[in-house]
């Protein structure tokens, strides 16, 4: 920064930072590798010592950004938990973190969400989905959610908070500030959680959540997985 050095030393991260800033400023596609390099103060070709292509950089950024979201959710949930606190509050806090994050940097959120199955090699930890699963498990443990409603509930909850986040990020819905977003998130998630608890006559082939990615990671940590056959199972790829 201060002295002009031939070797940057942290170019990989610096490029990711620059690219993230460019996404914030000019949207998911409104910038070039050359601009990111220029912003870091490096020649365009330098990037190729760290990324195979522009796409590779974008994918790496997307994964990094998604992992950050997972961290924010996880710590928000942890902070909300405590004795005497409403059992649903952890999930609500995670959801608020999710929605606020999308509201703060809509274009970055679009990048993280909007590119399909791209995080091929990268392990994202903690994945937002993982945080939701952890919170649901906690709700079942504390008795705030029926165990029968648990399978597949992760995708139901995820869909709810994801929808609010993306409607706001994409400008299809607008709110007056983050407090309003929190209120909306809370109302939505409490409605879903309450609705799941009230569920009667679960469908015969209840969807079961599992994914290659999740399994690969959780099998290493514990092996409490109940391997019921899944017929119409939602899956989180990679």
Task: Provide the minimum distance between the beta carbon of 109 and DNA in the complex, in angstroms, as a whole number.
Answer: 21
By CB under 7 A, the count of residues binding DNA is 23
Task: Provide the minimum distance between the beta carbon of 3 and DNA in the complex, in angstroms, as a whole number.
Answer: 10
Calculate the alpha carbon distances from 194 to 126, 136, 191, 198 in Å. Answer: 26, 13, 5, 6
Concatenate the DSSP letters of all residues of 109-167 into one string: HHHHHTT-S--SSPPPTT-HHHHHHHHHHHHHHTTSS-GGG-TTHHHHHHHHHHHHHHH
x/- letters, 29..68, toward DNA (CB under 7 A): --xxxxx-----xxxxxx-xxx--xxx-------------
Q: Applying CB under 8 A, which residues contact a copy of itself?
A: 29, 106, 110, 113-117, 152, 155-156, 158-167, 170-177, 179-180, 183-184, 187-188, 190-196, 198-199, 203, 205, 207, 231-237
Q: At a CB cut-off of 8 Å and minimum separation 6, what does 151 contact?
A: 206, 207, 208, 209, 228
Task: Provide the minimum distance between the beta carbon of 170 and DNA in the complex, in angstroms, as a whole number.
Answer: 22
Determine if 230 is a binding residue for DNA (CB under 7 A). no
Which residues contribute to the site for DNA (CB under 7 A)? 5-9, 11, 31-35, 41-46, 48-50, 53-55
């Amino acid at each position: 920064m201060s002295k002009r050095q031939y070797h940057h030393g942290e170019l990989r991260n610096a490029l990711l930072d620059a690219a993230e800033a460019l996404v914030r400023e000019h949207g998911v596609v409104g910038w070039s590798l050359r601009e990111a390099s220029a912003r870091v103060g490096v020649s365009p070709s330098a990037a190729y010592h760290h990324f195979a292509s522009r796409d590779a950089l974008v994918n790496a950024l997307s994964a990094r950004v998604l992992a950050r979201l997972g961290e924010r959710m996880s710590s928000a949930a942890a902070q909300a938990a405590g004795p005497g606190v409403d059992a649903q509050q952890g999930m609500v806090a995670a959801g608020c973190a999710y929605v606020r994050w999308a509201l703060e940097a809509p274009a970055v959120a679009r990048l993280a969400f909007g590119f399909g199955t791209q995080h091929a090699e990268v392990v994202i930890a903690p994945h937002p989905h993982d945080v939701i699963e952890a919170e649901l498990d906690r709700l079942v443990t504390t008795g705030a959610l029926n165990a029968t409603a648990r399978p597949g509930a992760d995708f139901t909850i995820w869909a709810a908070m994801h929808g609010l986040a993306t409607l706001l990020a994409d400008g299809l819905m607008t709110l007056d500030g983050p407090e309003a977003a929190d209120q909306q998130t809370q109302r939505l998630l409490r409605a879903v959680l309450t609705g799941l608890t009230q569920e009667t006559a679960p469908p015969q082939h209840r969807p079961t959540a599992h994914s290659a990615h999740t399994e690969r990671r959780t099998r290493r940590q514990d092996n409490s997985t109940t391997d019921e056959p899944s017929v119409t199972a939602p899956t989180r790829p990679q």
